[in-house]
Structure 1
Amino acid sequence: MSGTETRYLRFVALGDSHTEGVGDGDDVTGLRGWADRLAEHLARHSPQLQYANLAVRGRLAGQVHAEQLPAALALRPDFATVVAGVNDMLRPRFDPDEVAAHLEAMFAALTGQGARVATLTIPDIARVTPLARPLRPRLEALNHRVRAAAHRHGVVVADVTPYPVATDPRLWSQDRLHSSPLGHQRIAAALAHSLNLPDTDDSWTHPLPVLPVGRARFLRAASAEVRWVTGFLGPWIGRRTRGRSSGDGRVAKRPDLLPVGSSGQHFGRAFQRGPEPSVDRADASE
């Protein structure tokens, strides 16, 4: 299905690790992520597009507001994405009104300067990580406020929460906090479709193939639980108790507007149309 012929010249992405691209690549080979993938899609129809990614992992919504918004406004984007709040939601003291106020301030500033702005809702991570069930009220409260703030400022919302595929474990990385390459691709497709870009449709909502249920899959899932607690949850708790963040000492991977085809720091490989990243059926429950 073809969308509108809106063309953008300057795309700036603001946010935390999800926008930085954690889970899609690594710090050695480079992170790609949904924002890079979306920039590549935009560039197919706007070859002159320039793209900057100001996101830094571990940042709270207030930090994104204070540190990234001034830089974003200075770049004068005609299109921007703002996605933040998950890190706030994971902290002991969480105020959805305060977080939403930071997001709304960024919506207002960017749209007030003439940019088209898009954002995302947060999937029900309790379906991916059962230990996160106590966070469900926080997630619902934040999503409600984000939708309302976006409506007030004409911000496009890619609302992924109604679709079961958003919490399919195959769309999440092993740490269960970040998207896998397949998940990042689905997010980029969701935003592109919500923006009514050309060559987009609702295929991002479609479920993945159903996996057979059996003892082997159950044992892999149990093993994955143990690895997750020891490999990810434990270190995360350790950083929190020491008052540290995964983003300490880090800077934006792509702070300047550059052509999408250029070799910006950590920028992903050239966009290629084709099938989604393959899913390892044997490890799909992990």
Structure 2
Amino acid sequence: MSGTEPHRLRYVALGDSQTEGLGDGDDIAGLRGWADRLAEELARHNPGLRYANLAVRGRLAAEVRAEQLAPALALRPDLVTVVAGVNDVLRPRFDADEVAGHIEAMFAALTADGARVATLTFPDIARVIPLARPLGSRVIDLNDRIRHAARRHGVIVAETGRHPVVADPRLWSQDRLHAGPLGHQRIAAAMAHALALPGSDDTWTHSLPAPDVPLPTGWRAAGAELRWVASHLGPWLGRRLRGHSSGDGRAPKRPHLLAMESSAGTALGEERT
């Protein structure tokens, strides 16, 4: 025996609230999220996997690059996921070239350092939040730029934005800005499929069974929209107008590479609705 310790796969996740895991757990019991779920799946096939999650809610693409790229490179990851840009899309001022430039700079730096990099595309926000219809063209533009940048740098893309199921409200949390547990499970399964992990397939693209209770229509639907505006959109806009972010003063939940146990619960392809 040489006494050399076997290499353990190092996975680092960069991004904002979706990668941090908002909508899947809470700040008291703890957040899980798609990146944690993906790490659990990776650990099933890579015993000893070490995982860090540098994502912080509310971060713009420029902030993800400025705050998370250097620490990620210092961890010398084998695999990195980079998901950023939605917070930029939601801002009054949006420059697709600037946002995509920050994302591509992260792709370039990480792949040049030898890491395998994966990202995803975003769903049309208007399919989830009808009031956000004017932002639909921004999402399409950003997705196209992400695809082009990914091709230039050999980055893997999980096309989570192209399938009708992403608009199913059961995949989203009550605020409709973040995936719920089932949505995070689908994103993790999409990433696993894009990475060609053993046992992964395209079932994450399949529609959910018909709901037991019909979705509201007419005045009931309008009432639900008004309640959503008061409970979620209003406070979000208020923070933006005051120049505040939900991530102010927050640090990454998992800044160091730590051992990750494989999932002992529901596998990626086994959903409970």
> Post-superposition shift, 1:167?
1.4
Percent identity between matched residues is: 69
Q: State the 1:172 CA deviation.
A: 0.8
* Number of matched pairs: 266
**Structure 2: 5+ residue runs without aligned partners?**
1-6
The residue correspondences of 1:198-277 to structure 2 (distance < 5 A) are 198-211=198-211, 217-218=216-217, 221-261=221-261, 270-273=264-267, 276-277=270-271
Is the contact made by 1:21 and 1:31 (CA closer than 8 Å) also made in structure 2? yes
| 8 Å CA contact 1:17, 1:56 repeated in 2 | yes
Quick check: 2:10–2:77 contact (8 Å CA) kept in 1?
Answer: yes
Aligned to 1:76: 76
Q: What is the identity, as a one-letter code, of the residue corresponding to 1:122?
A: F
AA partner of residue 10 (structure 1): R
Contact 1:25 1:31 in 2 (8 A): yes
Normalised to the residue count of structure 2, the TM-score between the two structures is: 0.93
Alignment partners' CA distance in 1, 2:268 and 2:33: 17
C-alpha spacing 1:196/1:139, structure 2 compared with 1 (3 Å) = same
Residue 8 to residue 184, structure 1, CA distance change in 2 (3 Å): farther
Q: What does the per-residue CA deviation read over 1:70-102, in whole Å, with 9 as the maximum and x for residues that have no partner?
A: 000000000000000000111111100100000
Task: Decide which moves more: 165-174 or 143-152.
Answer: 165-174
Aligned-partner Cα distance in 1 for 2:56–2:244: 14
Matched AA of 2:40: E
- Cα deviation code 1:123-181 (max 9, x no counterpart): 01101100110001111110000000000000000012221001111111111110010
State the distance in 2 between where 1:154 and 1:271 align: 33
The aligned counterpart of 1:282 is: none
What is the CA–CA distance in structure 1 between the aligned matches of 2:257 and 2:264, rounded to whole Å? 17
The 5 A counterparts of 1:123-138 are 123-138=123-138
2:220, 2:270 → 1: CA distance? Answer: 24
The answer as to 2:272 corresponding to 1:278 is yes
* Equivalent position SS for 2:199: coil
**What is the RMSD of the two structures over their aligned residues, measured on CA atoms?**
1.9
User: In 1, Cα distance between the equivalents of 2:134 and 2:8?
Assistant: 40
TM-score, structure 1 as length reference: 0.89
Deviation at 1:8, TM superposition (A): 6.5
Contact persistence 2:188–2:268 (CA under 8 A): no
The change in CA–CA distance for 1:48 and 1:97 in structure 2 (over 3 A counts) is: same
Q: Deviations over 1:163-211 (max 9, x none)?
A: 1001111111111110010000000000100111101011000001123
2:120 aligns with: 120
Taking the TM superposition and a 5 Å limit, the aligned residue runs for 1:142-221 are 142-211=142-211, 217-218=216-217, 221=221
SS of structure 1 residue aligned to 2:216: helix
Cα distance between partner residues in 1 of 2:53 and 2:250: 13
Q: For 2:163, give the aligned amino acid.
A: Y
